Amino acid sequence: MTDIRKNPNRWMWRTGLALGTLGSLWAQTSLAAWGERPGWAQASASPAETQEAAPRRASAIRIRESRNHRISPFSPESNNVSVAVGQIFLMGDLGTYSDAIGGEVHYSYGVSDMFAFNTRLGFSTHSDGQYSQTTFLTGLRANLARIDKVVPYASLGLGFYKPRVRLEDTSAVSPVLFGMHLGPGVDLQLTDNLFFGSALTFHDIFGTEKRLASGKMLNIGGTYTTFLIHAGVTF
């Protein structure tokens, strides 16, 4: 007490210094604690919680990807199968036989928004079986535009043609020939998985000559045109 009375200024200076030091330490501690994340936020999930949440996250990702990439007829990575029926118009050297109804089965795989790889298997018979042909064709389909749900396209490709010509002695000649095809078409998207359309295709069978047992030469091959309507499914 005596020291305080004799030197009040010195005592106040010491007291202020001590309070300032304590205040500085408190401020540093408070700032450090405020800048750090709370303990409940830093705690990691238990292994059981992580295993339970992983399937939900994977399912949500798959749902988002499926919404962003919807399969529609002839879209990228789509598989398209259709059945076609229509008229076969024989031309040129094949014009001696009558026209007839024929059919095809088509499969197309969407490569991009514009292009698809196409294969087709067809059959027709003419003039009461005097002439018939089986075809296995491959080619490229190009989607020319997408107008609402209408898709006009063009196709071009090569393939194998197996005409069968019945002879007068009931025997037959049936070589395997090579040929090409091209033509336009149009498809209408009915739903995300169904489509309907038609196509006009010109075929050129590269001809060959066969010598018959009688010594006569038979020219096999020629051109024809198909006009087919088709309906199909996409998956």
Two tokens at 60?
Answer: 């949500």
What is the rounded distance in angstroms from the CA atom of residue 134 to the CA atom of residue 103? 10
Residue with tokens 């080619």: 139
Domain boundaries, the chain: 2-68, 79-234
DSSP string, 70-91: ---TT-TT-EEEEEEEEEEEEE
Size of the chain, expressed as the number of residues it contains? 235
SS3 state of residue 232:
strand
**For the segment 121-163, what is each residue's pLDDT rounded down to a tens digit?**
999 999 999 999 999 999 999 999 999 999 999 999 999 999 9
Q: What one-letter code names the amino acid at 112?
A: S
The model's pLDDT over 169-210, given as tens digits with 9 standing for 90+, comes to 778 999 999 999 999 999 999 999 999 999 999 999 998 888
79-234: CATH topology: Porin (2.40.160)
Q: Which pTM value belongs to this model?
A: 0.69
Q: Which of 66, 139, 62, 65 is nearest to 108 (CA)?
A: 139
Residues 184, 200 contacting (CB under 8 angstroms): yes
